[in-house]
Amino acid sequence: MCGIVGYVGGQSAQDVVVAGLRRLEYRGYDSAGVAVPADGGLASAKKAGKLVNLEKELKDRPLPAGNTGLGHTRWATHGGPTDANAHPHLDNAGRVAVVHNGIIENFAVLREELTGRGHHLASETDTEVVAHLLAEAYSSAGELAEAMRQVCRRLEGAFTLVAVHADEPGTVVGARRNSPLVVGVGDGEMFLASDVAAFIAHTRSAIELGQDQVVELRRDGATVTGFDGHPAGTRAYHVDWDASAAEKGGYASFMLKEIADQPKAVADTLLGRIGASGALRLDEVRIPPHELRDVDKVVVVACGTAFHAGMIAKYAIEHITRLPCETELASEFRYRDPILDGRTLVVAISQSGETMDTLMALRHAREQGARVLAICNTNGSTIPRESDAVLYTHAGPEVAVASTKAFLTQLVACYLVALYLGQVRGTKWGDEIRTVVHQLSDIPRQVEAVLGTMEPVRELARTLADRDTVLFVGRHVGYPVALEGALKLKELAYMHAEGFAAGELKHGPIALVDEGLPVVVIVPSPRGRSVLHDKIVSNIQEIRARGARTVVIAEEGDEAVVPYADHLVRIPAVPTLLQPLVATVPLQVFACELATARGNEVDQPRNLAKSVTVE
């Protein structure tokens, strides 16, 4: 959600921070601001709306030059997107500035205490109380890091905090609990950010911060302690992509670039998965093989697009391992008192590794004794760190809010997890596993082929820009694909879009079908699932008889669908379980083009954020 940048070094802090905020725009935001300690005081500027508004303000009224500073892009939680509610927030004396990501759950009690002691709070936010609490703590502690530790011990909820003080112009202090924060280590300069993208143009050396830790940055290094003040261990790591990977590369939007990136992303996810012995391997496994052999149930938890990947994982895991598998919305998981024990394996899927609902589901699972395996794209993030095993998707940075390459690489990872469990449990022979991995290794070529035939899909999308509703239907693994197609259209085009299991049409949804309604149908292979294929052809006839405009996605060589397709989109013939990897691509292109035709911003859809770090 909110983007945070902190800097201390030899460059202009304002320039570094604003550039970092620009690289975090993809996270979604509605206001922005910066603060710089300089000339014995503290200068700040903040504006509602896009970053360009702040940049204009800084051009008209530049802040004093300084080499330490912080900045923020806000996604509103407490209080609307106004200048007053934008970050940074200052204390009444204007000596301390703080930015915040997350939610402080006990802010109302703290706010009442502060007003009772004579503090005047100018905003509606929960963040502002921290600035005032830091000012009070600083008066006795005498240093910002200790003040931060004292304040953090009073806060409840999930938060990342970064602060500067006029009396310490060479220091930036940060703190994290259940919300992302990473340190960038440069040459004579240090960075602090909610995402490495903020400082990747300056350094690829990073330090991950653990739970309930405070970091104090100076030009010559960082000191990390727990909230209790005791020294804390850290882990340094190297970011394996550079700034160019987060640039558009000539595409009109990041989403278009990331759709085009998918063949390489899938190939990178598969890279090195078969070891010298011929066995499949993950990135990190801290679960003994005998415990995996004792697993009697798998539960997949995820949100949004990742949940649709998890639905497909259920088909793969049950087919390959013969283990029962449930797929759960992470936001609902721990509130329904799920049945878990030491023989349950929970698979947590998250692109960012910071998705709060998924993180809390993971923690609940571990409290119940279950083992957790994470599928994630972000090295050093919280979900992989708190899991017992990890499979990284290696998709590189995904900047557009609507997920594309993350989804395909999550699917690949789900298949690999299923195969790995089949390997450990002995339900699949080595040659069977290698056959599926070989089939997966051909997917990049097939996705590339699909991308090369998308102009008719773009033309179709443009003709539907004035429609109000599009329906998506599918069977078997095509059902989650239908849900994902509908989600992309909701996210980007702001249209009513629904995905259904095709067999459910006659149980109610067919009432929505009227003359000219576009219905996208994902058709299973007539070779792998002939019974389902015949049934969905009947479904197409039923909706077409009621006037629907049918858009049929079917594999090459499937002639049975031709008489009933108003628009036919061909995809390569692949094994049934792998079809989502090629069938999803036209739906991504369709949603992106339709949204563009409606004049929408595809990289930053309204009301959405890339990483949802609050429940």
From the candidates 46, 257, 405, 610, which is the catalytic residue?
Answer: 610
Residue 364 CB coordination number (10 Å)? 19
Query: Which CATH architecture fits 254-441?
Result: 3-Layer(aba) Sandwich (3.40)
Asked if the model's pLDDT at residue 598 lies above 70, the reply is yes
Mean pLDDT (whole number) for 29-46: 93
- Residue 610 known to be catalytic: yes
d(CA 564, CA 578): 25
CATH class, range 3-246: alpha beta
Instruction: Dig out the tokens for 220 from the structure.
Output: 């010559």
Does residue 469 sit in helix, strand or coil? strand
Residue 399's pLDDT band (cuts 50, 70, 90)? confident
Asked if the model's pLDDT at residue 178 lies above 90, the reply is no
Q: Which residue has the tokens 């993350």?
A: 406
CA torsion 537-540-544-549 (nearest 10°) is -130
Question: Do 321 and 272 form a contact (C-beta atoms < 8 A)?
Answer: no
d(CA 189, CA 304): 38
Superfamily of domain 451-597: Glucose-6-phosphate isomerase like protein; domain 1 (3.40.50.10490)
Average pLDDT over the chain, rounded to whole? 92
From the candidates 2, 152, 303, 325, which is the catalytic residue?
Answer: 2
Predicted confidence at residue 423, as pLDDT, reads 94
Number of residues that this document lists for the chain: 615
Predicted confidence at residue 479, as pLDDT, reads 97
Predicted confidence at residue 438, as pLDDT, reads 92
Q: What are phi and psi of 55, to 5 degrees?
A: -60, -40
Asked if the model's pLDDT at residue 172 lies above 80, the reply is yes
Could you tell me where the beta strands, DSSP code E, fall in 145-189? 157-165, 172-177, 182-185
**In Å, what is the CA distance from 428 to each residue of 317, 424, 436, 451, 579?**
12, 9, 11, 33, 21
In the chain, the amino acid numbered 143 is E
Predicted confidence at residue 614, as pLDDT, reads 60
Predicted confidence at residue 27, as pLDDT, reads 64
d(CA 354, CA 613): 6
From 358, 361, 305, 307, select the one nearest 335 (Cα to Cα). 361
Residue 265 CB coordination number (10 Å)? 25
Asked if the model's pLDDT at residue 29 lies above 80, the reply is no
Asked if the model's pLDDT at residue 77 lies above 80, the reply is no
Mean pLDDT (whole number) for 539-549: 92
Mean pLDDT (whole number) for 246-256: 81
Report the range out of 21-25, 327-331, 524-528, 602-606 with the highest average pLDDT. Answer: 327-331
- Residue 376 known to be catalytic: no
d(CA 128, CA 26): 25
Mean pLDDT (whole number) for 331-347: 94
Tell me where in the chain the CATH 3.40.50.10490 domain(s) lie.
254-441, 451-597
Tell me where in the chain the CATH 3.60.20.10 domain(s) lie.
3-246
Residue 468's pLDDT band (cuts 50, 70, 90)? very high
Residue 75's pLDDT band (cuts 50, 70, 90)? confident
Q: What is the DSSP letter of 199?
A: T
The proportion of the chain whose per-residue pLDDT surpasses 90, expressed as a percent, equals 77
Asked if the model's pLDDT at residue 421 lies above 70, the reply is yes
Predicted confidence at residue 24, as pLDDT, reads 85
Residue 275's pLDDT band (cuts 50, 70, 90)? confident
